[in-house]
């Protein structure tokens, strides 16, 4: 099928914005200001999503309930605090593509990853390896290596890394699947990102799960850069678990709570090893305060602590918007916006930068990673001074993500124009 036909003139960006059915959602977010007082070009939603305007009212409501009701707000707040996390469950399940009992919003990403590995990384003498991407986010590396050591194994022999071929940034599908087939019998856990934070490459999670299960491996995913970005269907894809954060595409705010998926086939596996806390205990008997832990069924059984109300109130504002728009429509616009960004950058092919993110829409999300060589930091600073925000990952990758909820075709046009001029001036 032929891809969309874009045009390079500025008027085209204006016309596309005018006919964008989702354009109105931008009004629902606070857009940071550029030094000249205008809206900045914010292509950083892969790092920290923007603030929905309803966050303040949501948080203030909780502050008011706390002020006026004190401890009674656990039961009598407008959104009672006891079951507060459940106000986020259905919307989250829609974004991640799961059944409600398979997801819970709690803790933070790295902590949830540890909790999942306590339950789902069960190494034995013959099968003790964890498969990850060599260039995965460092926190995942640290978490995985520390879990391996915690179980008495050595990362030198128990960590298996998927590495792009020499001179390449993306992983080739054939290399992923041949490694799983070749080494699968020694792999206890496959733990990959849904979208790689560095290259922006999206993986075929359904096929990886299938290949992993065929070899007897447990399969889990870090969806930090996938949640709210690409279409996910974790339940049907049959993954064992997944974790994610909510401050990127999900706009929950800095340090907002993370999320966790556990497939329903594990919902009643009471014998799974787990690190327990009282909020994971059967809610009917939780307040009897008995020492024996009886886990709740489903993902909620992995909760540790009572919910963090203020950050969940912020996240609720964003998830309400996701619920209204729907991931399908967001993804359609996202494919178009990112395709447009790629098109504009390719109008002036240059040896000064390379797009290292895959070209095919199904192999990427919103983000394009631009390898720009020496002086990358200076380029990013010059862009920021001009009100164009993207970020840098060492040594020389500039990441830019037009986010369909609040970015426009004009944002993309302004980014491409300024980026190309700044590179030439370098
Ligand atoms: C892929 C990935 N994994 C893990 C993390 C760490 O997340 P947290 O600090 O919420 O644990 C991040 C943070 O950006 C990330 O991008």
Smallest Cα–Cα separation from 201: which of 393, 359, 358, 371? Answer: 358
Among 197, 247, 367, 397, which is best to mutate for testing ligand 1, by the most ligand atoms less than 8 A from CB? 197
Which of 215-229, 301-315, 342-356 has the weakest average pLDDT? 342-356
Contact indicator for 415, 340 with CB cutoff of 8 Å: no
Contact residues for 158 (Cβ-Cβ < 8 A; gap 6+): 123, 128, 129, 130, 148
Distance of alpha carbon 339 from alpha carbon 324, whole angstroms: 24
Q: How far apart are the first and last CA of the chain?
A: 39
For the segment 132-157, the average pLDDT, to the nearest whole number, is: 98
Kindly report the protein residue whose alpha carbon is nearest to atom 4 of ligand 1: 139
Which of 150-159, 207-216, 374-383 has the weakest average pLDDT? 374-383
State residue 325's pLDDT score.
98
For residue 136, give the ligand 1 atom closest to its CA. Answer: 1
Contact indicator for 315, 257 with CB cutoff of 8 Å: yes
2 pLDDT higher than 70 = no
Question: Does residue 131 sit in helix, strand or coil?
Answer: strand
Ligand 1, residues at Cβ distance < 6 Å: 108-110, 137, 139-140, 193, 197, 222, 224-225, 245, 258
Cα torsion at 97, 98, 100, 104 (round to 10°)? -90
State residue 3's pLDDT score.
65
Strands 368-371, 241-244: parallel, antiparallel or unpaired by DSSP? unpaired
Instruction: Tell me, in angstroms, the distance from the centre of ligand 1 to residue 100's CA.
Output: 23
DSSP 8-state symbol, 155: H
pLDDT tier for residue 276 given thresholds of 50, 70 and 90: very high
pLDDT tier for residue 158 given thresholds of 50, 70 and 90: very high
Distance of alpha carbon 326 from alpha carbon 269, whole angstroms: 32
What is the reported pTM? Answer: 0.97
Instruction: Tell me, in angstroms, the distance from the centre of ligand 1 to residue 108's CA.
Output: 9
For the segment 268-284, the average pLDDT, to the nearest whole number, is: 96
State residue 77's pLDDT score.
97
Instruction: Tell me, in angstroms, the distance from the centre of ligand 1 to residue 53's CA.
Output: 25
For residue 193, give the ligand 1 atom closest to its CA. Answer: 1
Among 224, 225, 315, which is best to mutate for testing ligand 1, by the most ligand atoms less than 8 A from CB? 224
Among 110, 146, 192, 397, which is best to mutate for testing ligand 1, by the most ligand atoms less than 8 A from CB? 110
For residue 258, give the ligand 1 atom closest to its CA. Answer: 10
Distance of alpha carbon 156 from alpha carbon 162, whole angstroms: 14
Distance of alpha carbon 245 from alpha carbon 255, whole angstroms: 8
Region of 240 please: left (phi>0), alpha (psi -120 to 50) or beta. Answer: alpha
106 pLDDT higher than 70 = yes
State residue 424's pLDDT score.
86
Helix (H) or strand (E) holding 51: strand 51-52
């Amino acid at each position: 099928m032929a891809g969309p036909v874009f045009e390079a003139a500025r008027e085209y960006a204006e016309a596309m914005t005018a006919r964008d059915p989702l354009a109105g959602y931008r009004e629902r977010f606070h857009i940071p200001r550029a030094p000249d007082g205008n809206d900045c070009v914010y292509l950083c939603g892969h790092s920290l999503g923007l603030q929905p305007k309803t966050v303040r009212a949501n948080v203030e409501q909780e502050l008011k309930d706390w002020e006026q009701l004190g401890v009674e707000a656990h039961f009598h707040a407008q959104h009672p605090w006891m079951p507060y996390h459940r106000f986020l469950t259905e919307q989250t399940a829609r974004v991640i593509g799961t059944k409600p009992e398979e997801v819970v919003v709690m803790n933070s990403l790295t902590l949830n990853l540890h909790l999942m590995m306590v339950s789902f990384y069960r190494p034995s003498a013959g099968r003790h390896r964890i498969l990850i991407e060599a260039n995965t986010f460092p926190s995942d590396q640290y978490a995985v290596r520390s879990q391996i050591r915690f179980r008495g194994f050595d990362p030198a022999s128990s960590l298996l890394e998927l590495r792009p071929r020499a001179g390449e940034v993306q992983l080739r599908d054939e290399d992923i699947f041949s490694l799983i087939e070749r080494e699968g019998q020694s792999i206890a856990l496959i733990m990959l990102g849904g979208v790689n934070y560095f290259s922006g490459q999206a993986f075929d999670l359904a096929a990886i799960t299938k290949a992993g299960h065929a070899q007897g491996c447990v399969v889990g995913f870090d969806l930090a850069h996938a949640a709210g970005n690409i279409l996910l269907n974790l339940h049907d894809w049959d993954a064992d678990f997944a974790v994610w954060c909510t401050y990127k595409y999900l706009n929950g705010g800095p340090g907002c709570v993370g999320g966790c998926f556990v497939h329903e086939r594990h919902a009643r596996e009471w014998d799974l090893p787990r690190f327990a806390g009282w909020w994971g205990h059967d809610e009917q008997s939780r307040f009897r305060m008995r020492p024996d832990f009886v886990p709740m069924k489903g993902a909620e059984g992995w909760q540790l602590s009572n919910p963090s109300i203020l950050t969940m109130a912020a996240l609720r504002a964003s998830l309400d918007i996701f619920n209204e728009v729907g991931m399908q429509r967001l993804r359609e616009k996202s494919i178009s916006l990112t395709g447009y960004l790629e098109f504009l950058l390719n109008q002036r092919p240059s040896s000064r930068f390379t797009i290292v993110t895959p070209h095919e829409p199904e192999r990427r999300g919103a983000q394009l990673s631009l390898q720009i060589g020496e002086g990358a930091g200076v380029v990013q600073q010059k862009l920021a001074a001009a009100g164009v925000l993207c970020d840098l990952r060492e040594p020389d990758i500039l990441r830019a993500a037009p986010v369909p909820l609040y970015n426009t075709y004009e944002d993309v046009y302004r980014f491409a124009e300024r980026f190309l001029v700044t590179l030439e001036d370098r």
